[in-house]
């Protein structure tokens, strides 16, 4: 039976890499996001990809998403709105922090609430946390706290929603468009400096994270776990 996979954030970065890999493996893939133009480009570039415009920070849109999508085997969320959230505390815009919480914590929570009932036997939910929960830095308090909270949510939902499996992948520094919010014009310099520090000698690629999520979807004996894919960042 062909797997049916919903990827929130599937139009760019790690989510798009996962969508491409799943389509190549013969799965039915639906990419969800807020940016219609970006979804259209992804649909044009990835034959067979279904796209849906929805904002996972709005409960009514999440509920409507699952009413119209039918049965699923896996739900994945790689989306995050962290624009303005990487700031020193005196400069932090609380509205930006609230948007980050809504997209990276409350959004996944609502995906689980409304998505779990449509998952088939053997189904899974996979979220995306991140290295900031383990290696926090100045300007990163909001994202560090959200990632840590999301991992707590994963463990709790793995118990509450069993036998649905709930996991998270925790990426390190990965070369994706999100870096324009984190580093701006210093992006290339920062990524190159981190590559020199990491034991693997490079920063991550979207395909690295897609491969890890594929494992979590496919391994029926893994739940409540956080899979670290960060090139040894926690060791340095």
55-75 per-position pLDDT tens digit: 999 999 999 999 999 899 999
The verdict on residue 211 lying in a domain is yes
In the predicted model, is pLDDT for residue 179 greater than 80? no
Is 124 among the domain residues? yes
4, 129, 170, 214: the active-site residue = 129
DSSP-derived 3-state class of residue 9 = coil
> Mean pLDDT across the stretch 16-22?
98
The CATH number linked to 92 is 3.40.50.720
Convert the pLDDT of each residue in 106-144 to its tens digit: 999 999 999 999 999 999 999 999 999 999 999 999 999
Is residue 77 included in any domain, yes or no? Answer: yes
Has residue 39 been placed in a domain? yes
Q: What does the pLDDT look like over 33-56, one tens digit per residue?
A: 999 999 999 999 999 999 999 999
The two tokens of residue 130 are 């991140």
Cβ-Cβ contacts under 8 Å for 28 (sequence gap 6 or more): 2, 3, 4, 5, 48, 50
Answer yes or no: is 121 within a domain: yes
pLDDT digit string, tens, across residues 83-92: 999 999 999 9
Residue 195 domain-assigned (yes or no): no
Structural domains counted in the chain: 1
**Nearest partner of 171 among 3, 1, 15, 10, judged by Cα:** 15
What band does 177 get if pLDDT is binned at 50, 70 and 90? Answer: confident
Angle at 176 between CA 172 and CA 180, to 5 degrees: 105
DSSP string, 140-159: -HHHHHHHHHHHHHHHHHHH
**pLDDT at residue 1, as a whole number:** 67
Residue 226's pLDDT band, with cuts at 50, 70 and 90, is very high
- Could you confirm whether 4 is annotated as catalytic? no
* pLDDT at residue 159 in the model: 98
> Which residues constitute the domain of residue 43?
4-174+206-231
């Amino acid at each position: 039976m062909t797997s049916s996979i919903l990827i929130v954030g599937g139009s760019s970065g790690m989510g798009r890499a996962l969508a491409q890999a799943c389509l190549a493996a013969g799965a039915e893939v639906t990419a969800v996001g807020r940016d219609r133009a970006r979804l259209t480009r992804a649909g044009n570039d990835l034959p067979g990809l279904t796209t849906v415009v929805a904002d996972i920070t709005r409960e009514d849109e999440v509920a409507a998403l699952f009413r119209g999508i039918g049965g699923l085997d896996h739900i994945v969320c790689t989306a995050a709105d962290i624009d303005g959230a990487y700031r020193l505390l005196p400069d932090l815009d609380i509205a930006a922090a609230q948007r980050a919480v809504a997209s990276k914590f409350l959004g996944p929570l609502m995906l689980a609430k409304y998505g779990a009932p449509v998952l088939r036997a053997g189904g899974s939910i996979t979220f995306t946390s991140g290295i900031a929960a383990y290696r926090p830095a100045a300007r990163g308090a909001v994202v560090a706290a959200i990632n840590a909270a999301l991992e707590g949510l994963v463990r709790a939902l793995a118990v509450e929603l069993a036998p649905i499996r709930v996991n998270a992948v925790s990426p390190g520094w990965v070369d994706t468009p999100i870096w324009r919010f984190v580093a701006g014009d210093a992006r290339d310099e920062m990524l190159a400096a981190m590559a020199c520090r990491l034991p693997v000698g490079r920063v991550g690629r979207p395909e690295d994270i897609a491969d890890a999520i594929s494992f979590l979807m496919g391994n029926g004996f893994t739940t409540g776990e956080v899979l670290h894919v960060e090139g040894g960042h926690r060791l340095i």
